[in-house]
Amino acid sequence: MKRIRGFASDNNAPVHPDIFRAMEQVNKGHVVGYGDDPYTVRATEKLSTLFGENAGVYFAFTGTATNVLGLSTALRSWESVICAETSHIHEDECGAPEKFTGGKLIPVEPVHGKLTPERISEHLYGFGFEHHSQPRIISFAQATETGTVYTLDEIREITGLAHKHGMVVHMDGARIANAAAYLNCTFREMVTDTGVDILSFGGTKNGMMYGEAVVILNPDLDKNFKYIRKQGMQLASKMRYIAAQFEAYLENDLWLKNARHANRMAQLLAKETSIIPGVTLVEEVQANGLFVKIPEKIIKPLQEEFFFYVMEGRNPLVRWMTSWDTTEKDIHDFSSLIKEMLT
């Protein structure tokens, strides 16, 4: 039988005990539903403060929802989103962005998982031409889907380009904590100060049970968002349980501790496996994911012991993710097994 503990996804890790405890602590008495409760007010303020005075914060359940709703606040059906071919919105959301916004995604071949101004610029045409879907949003993930992290300068280049063309920028921050830990910067420095307009702020992959938020930095895009969230079926009636998770997550920098740990484990995994002949890292390890080439013959037997995914269509490329609860023992056991299989 397959062992599920392994390196498949940070989604497979459990909820951090501090988060669980926080949910239990608010589990008493009646409070008003739909976010009109003191816990939600406090958690919203706490998250908002990390981005600056004007940040609009809206909690939701899933990362796909925050991406789709975040895009919805800026996109009309005749407009388009420039994104990486490898982006979650393009590859892994079952067409939800297109279905819910009616807009078009324009996938661009990334460089090390990232959009570049040059690649984006190839698609910046047709403005005002009624036959062409109007470029409106540039969307990218931080950290990227291949485990790399945009520098602050790279983000600024993208926001500068977007704003020059009257476009806006959406950041998919499903792993924003891992990116901030890697860059050693604040959320404000990475998002607000670089000019990002809309952020999907993720928590689930870094220790929460279900906790994501749309953070809107551009007040022009914030006016109708409460309606968009409700129509998008993400207004939680029992909001206090999401809020409690956020409070605990932001308290004493739990988010940073978890992300630093996951990143450190990824570095350790890279260090221990990259010296094994036959194992090749295809991207620099910056956040908590490794993209690796290993001989095809060991994939199945290795998966029997430690669960992980083969990247579809890119066989034999595999992905190994670490999480807040990965241990050094997990890494040593996994690396030793690979060594044994290859020598």
Ligand X SMILES: Cc1ncc(COP(=O)(O)O)c(C=O)c1O
Binding site for ligand X (CB under 6 A): 62-64, 67, 88, 141, 145, 172, 174, 204
| CA nearest neighbour of 288 among 254, 252, 264 | 264
Least distance from C-beta 202 to ligand X, angstroms?
A: 7
C-beta closer to ligand X: residue 262 or 298: 262
The burial class, CB within 10 Å (0-12 / 13-18 / 19+), for 36 is exposed
C-beta closer to ligand X: residue 66 or 134: 66
Give the residue nearest to ligand X (CB).
63
Least distance from C-beta 166 to ligand X, angstroms?
A: 26
Contacts of 63 (CB under 8 A, 6+ apart): 88, 172, 174, 200, 202, 204, 205, 212
Least distance from C-beta 291 to ligand X, angstroms?
A: 13
C-beta closer to ligand X: residue 47 or 338: 47
C-beta closer to ligand X: residue 279 or 287: 287
Least distance from C-beta 63 to ligand X, angstroms?
A: 2
C-beta closer to ligand X: residue 103 or 211: 211
C-beta closer to ligand X: residue 37 or 58: 58
C-beta closer to ligand X: residue 234 or 335: 234
Least distance from C-beta 68 to ligand X, angstroms?
A: 9
Least distance from C-beta 150 to ligand X, angstroms?
A: 13
Q: How many CA atoms lie within 13 A of 27 on its CB side?
A: 9
Least distance from C-beta 171 to ligand X, angstroms?
A: 10
Both tokens of residue 224? 């109708």
Pairing type for strands 212-216 and 56-60 reads antiparallel
C-beta closer to ligand X: residue 141 or 292: 141
C-beta closer to ligand X: residue 37 or 172: 172
Least distance from C-beta 206 to ligand X, angstroms?
A: 12
Least distance from C-beta 336 to ligand X, angstroms?
A: 28
Phi then psi for residue 168, to 5 deg, are -125, 165
